[in-house]
A = this chain, B = another copy of it.
Amino acid sequence: METVTQTSGAKPKVIIIGGGFGGLYAAKALANQAVEVILIDRTNHHLFQPLLYQVATAGLSPGDIAQPIRHILKDAQNISVVMAAVEGIDPVANVVQTAASEYQYDFLIVATGARHSYFGRDDWETFAPGLKSLSDALELRRRILGAFETAETAANAESLQAALTFVVVGAGPTGVEMAGAISELAKRTLVGDFRRIRTEHARIILLDAAPRVLPSFTPGLSKSAQKQLKQMEVEVRVGTKVLSVTGEGVQLENEFISARTVIWAAGNSASPLAKQLGGETDRQGRILVSQDLSVPGHPQIFAVGDITNFSYQTGQPLPGVAQVAMQMGAHAAQNILELAQGRPSKRFKYLNKGNMATIGRNKAVADLNFIRFGGFVAWLSWLSVHLVFLVGLRNRIQVFIQWIWAYFTYARGARLIYGPFRPAVPSKEPRSPSEEVSK
List residues of A whose CB falls within 8 A of some B CB: 42-45, 60-64, 66-68, 70-71, 74, 77, 79-85, 99-101, 133-135, 138, 145-146, 149, 152-153, 155, 192-196, 394-395, 397-398, 401-402, 405, 409, 411, 413-421, 427, 429, 431-432
Contacts and interface: CB of A to CB of B under 8 A. Distances in A.
Nearest to A78: B195
Contacts of A68: 193, 415-416
A63 B416 contact: yes
Contacts of A133: 418
A173 to B, nearest CB: 23
Contact of A416 (B62, B398, B416): B62
A63 B413 contact: yes
A189 to B, nearest CB: 9
Given A62-B418, A394-B409, 16 more contacts: A43-B417, A43-B418, A61-B61, A61-B414, A63-B414, A67-B415, A68-B193, A74-B192, A80-B195, A83-B146, A133-B418, A138-B418, A394-B411, A397-B401, A398-B402, A398-B413
A100 B426 CA distance: 11
A134 B416 contact: yes
Nearest first, the 6 closest Cβ-Cβ pairs linking A and B are: A63-B414, A61-B61, A61-B63, A100-B429, A45-B416, A42-B421
10 contacts: A63-B413, A63-B415, A70-B193, A74-B193, A80-B195, A81-B195, A100-B431, A101-B153, A394-B413, A398-B413
B416 A193 contact: no
